[in-house]
Chain A
Amino acid sequence: MTTPLIELKDIVKTFGSVIALNGVSTSVDKGQVLCLLGDNGAGKSTLIKTLSGVHIPTKGEILIEGKPVTFRSPRDAQRYGIATVHQHLSIQPLMSVSRNFFMGQEPTSGQNWLGPLNLLRKDFADKTAAEEMAKMGIDIRDPNQIVGTMSGGERQVLAIARAIYFGAKVLILDEPTAALGVKQAGVVLKYIAQVKAKGLAVVFITHNVHHAYPVADKFTILKRGQSYGTFMKEDVSREDVLAMMAGKEELDELEAELEEFARADGARVDGKASALEAAAAAERALAQNLHAESESLKKGP
């Protein structure tokens, strides 16, 4: 077996007395999509923040291509090619597409002594941003367009395109479809598949199995800070994943409860239907009576 691109071994993270992660292990390889599934509070965000250098793990190891590494800041993680597209997006809504694209890593004229006072290479930035967006299939009309005018899906794609351009090997997507409509979510899933085809490792965090299942190769299911298990796609069905994520017993219980609701609802509908039928029958009888009366009147004297 080859060494995975990135591997987490028994990650423990505590915040004071709160144990956010309790011994989570998983791994992801090149050209593979790992889905981190878990309900709210399962520890997905903490795991991601650990992986992207925001949190330093209390215990456990992060291995990149088999070598243990320590991230002290998001910049460290970036240096190893780990790019994170955060839930709240690393996007500036009031700035232009090209300024956002190069935020923090601006192309400059490169005079060392000037430091951050180096001049921006604006033409290059505009051109590159437009090209990279085009590669992802989004034709931006104007690189100076303010990002606030773009749709949620387009913003996700901007963040993804930027990560790829800056040489990400591992792309972490934190709930990229959570705030999107059905169609936009589909667009983002398509880009995830595209990123995978480029040979990047993708870690896709979601609590939506229907978004995860079509693109994932591998699932790691988190529950209350612990790993419930890691499964390859060929070994599990969508229903299995859903069952594991919510917990089989809990889900069965929920189903039973729902059936109970449905029965109650159904009974109410039956009752209504019969009442309606009765009313209709009464009306029909009335009509017949009237008809008969009018007929007899016609026949009359």
Chain B
Amino acid sequence: MALKTAVSQDERVRQISWFNRLLSRPEFGALAGAILVFVMFSVFAWDSASNSSGFLGWRAVITWLQFSAEIGIIGIGATLLMIGGEFDLSVGSIIGMTSLIVLAPIVLYGWAPWQAILLTLAVAVLLGWINGTLVNSTGLPSFIVTLAFLYIYRGLTLVVTRALTGGATRVDIQALVGQKGIVDVPQAREFIRSDWLAQMFSGEIWGSPKLVQLLGNIGLIPITERRVLDPETGQRIAQNLPIIDGFPVALGWWIILTIVAIIILQRTQLGNWIFGTGGHAESARNMGVPTNRVKVILFIGTSVFATILSLLQVFETGSSEVLRGQLKEFEAIIVAVIGGTLLTGGYGSVAGAFWGALIYGMIARGTEIVRWMPNDWFRIFLGVGLLAAVLFNTYIRKRATEAK
């Protein structure tokens, strides 16, 4: 019996345990890191006096989840592009630019929100196409091309905003007051929220307020006395309500886009082409992969993902600013790298970026909740985390390609 197994098994193959298999997946490091950070903050930021305000309190959870979601959305785009072997440093400027493109027509020219949103998404596709086509046609590193566009797009946004507003650097929903019978800012918000398309980028996930109410009723979510606006009298009145309103719509976008991106990358032909384009573009081309088209699609992807984040922020804050989105391009790359994606392309994971974004959100908001740990520290944490992630990834890649 022993002899038989010895014969049927190649002596060069080591039995790989499930743990080693897990270890050689690109997203493993980020998942382990997310668990570590979660446990750390749960211990340090546990506020026993009032559970509701600690790291695990509902409000805090929603806060760091929303922060993670926003970074996570652009992290998906950056991850896919980086697996395809390129970078996009213009993400932050695209966020600033599209925030203007969506809000200016609504408040200055009386467009319906859905019209402005469709225009913005079309512009996002155009911006991505410009990035991708220029990278392809010049043959320059995307790092340089998109660095140039970081400045160009930001500068354009500033020039155009100043021209449209007569010198201001922001456009505000307040400008709607006085138009279309709108008398105050809450009404202006209501006007935008009632638009069928704008709904998808503002407030809570559809149905989640009811779910939260239900969970509150059966005691899973604490109920507190909250002051709310009475729609009839316009007065603020006290009411017993669940401590949160629902789950922010950004969370829904993040999860859905992550799932879609995982399916595209792991299970579709395009996914195979993305890995091939980033791994070794020339050999992918030799095998008939349209690598230039793949790159343009990926640049359009980062631009559209950045624009989705921009829309979420515009409808949440009710304003657009010239400087919005600064440094977001690097945050997106950090999330991708922590998630196990190689800077050199050809290897990586969208699931990893999901955990990376969660780590980012927990550290950024967790340091606010731990009182003895000033929030100023969070960049140090992130920098160290980034370095650790890169070292870990290098080690994992070596394991994956050599140590079998």
Contacts and interface: CB of A to CB of B under 8 A. Distances in A.
A195 to B, nearest CB: 19
B72 to A, nearest CB: 22
B275 interface: yes
A89 B287 CA distance: 10
A117 B10 CA distance: 38
B400 A104 contact: no
Interface string A93-109: 11100010011111010
Interface in A227-259: none
Interface string B284-295: 111111000000
B85 to A, nearest CB: 11
A78 B401 contact: no
Interface string B262-274: 0010011111110
A181 interface: no
B270 A104 contact: no
A75 B288 contact: yes
Interface residues of A, number: 32
A117 B276 contact: no
Given A86-B283, A92-B284, A104-B288, A120 B401 contact: no
A91 B272 CA distance: 13
A146 B401 contact: yes
Contacts of B279: 92-95
B7 interface: no
Contacts of B84: none
Contacts of B347: 94
Contact of A94 (B272, B400, B404): B400
Contacts, number: 91
Nearest to A141: B13
Q: Which of A92, A102, A106 has the most chain B CB within a 10 Å cutoff?
A: A92
A148 interface: yes
Main secondary structure of the interface of B (DSSP, over half): helix
Contacts of A103: 272, 276, 283-284, 287, 289
A116 B297 CA distance: 11
Given A89-B283, A106-B269, A149 B402 contact: yes
Nearest to A117: B268
A5 B400 CA distance: 43
B371 interface: no
A119 to B, nearest CB: 5
B275 A92 contact: yes
Contact of B264 (A78, A117, A139): A117
Contacts of B236: none
A90 B279 CA distance: 11
B248 interface: no
A78 B272 CA distance: 20
Contacts of A117: 264, 268-270
B269 A74 contact: no
Contacts of A149: 400-402, 404
A104 B264 contact: no
A93 B275 CA distance: 11
Interface string B145-181: 0000000000000000000000000000000000000
B346 interface: yes
Secondary structure type dominating chain A contacts: loop
B289 A94 contact: no
A266 B402 CA distance: 47
A118 interface: yes
Given A95-B279, A103-B272, A74 B286 contact: yes
Contact of B283 (A78, A91, A105, A116): A91
Contacts of A108: 268-269
User: Counting chain B CB atoms within 10 Å of each CB, which of A103, A106, A118 scores highest?
Assistant: A103
B266 to A, nearest CB: 8
A90 B283 contact: yes
B227 interface: no
A173 to B, nearest CB: 14
A102 B272 contact: yes
A104 B404 CA distance: 27
A116 B268 contact: yes
A91 B289 CA distance: 13
Contacts of A106: 269, 272
B280 interface: yes
A95 B400 contact: no
B268 A141 contact: no
B10 A104 contact: no
Interface string B346-366: 110000000000000000000
A148 B280 CA distance: 13
A74 B280 CA distance: 16
Contacts of B269: 106, 108, 116-118, 120
B273 A116 contact: yes
B267 A92 contact: no
Given A104-B276, A149-B402, A88 B283 contact: yes
A180 B404 CA distance: 20
A21 to B, nearest CB: 21
Contacts of A119: 267-268
Nearest to A92: B279
B272 A120 contact: yes
A184 interface: no
A93 B268 contact: no
Please name the 7 residue pairs, one residue from A and one from B, whose CB atoms are nearest each other, closest first: A148-B401, A104-B287, A104-B288, A116-B270, A92-B279, A90-B283, A149-B404
Given A94-B342, A117-B270, A141-B10, 6 more contacts: A90-B283, A92-B276, A102-B272, A103-B272, A116-B270, A149-B402
Interface of A: 74-75, 78, 84, 86, 88-95, 99, 102-106, 108, 116-120, 122, 139, 141, 145-146, 148-149
26 contacts: A74-B285, A92-B279, A92-B283, A92-B284, A92-B346, A93-B280, A94-B346, A95-B275, A95-B279, A95-B346, A103-B272, A104-B284, A104-B288, A104-B289, A105-B287, A105-B288, A106-B272, A117-B269, A118-B268, A118-B269, A120-B268, A120-B271, A120-B272, A146-B404, A148-B402, A149-B404
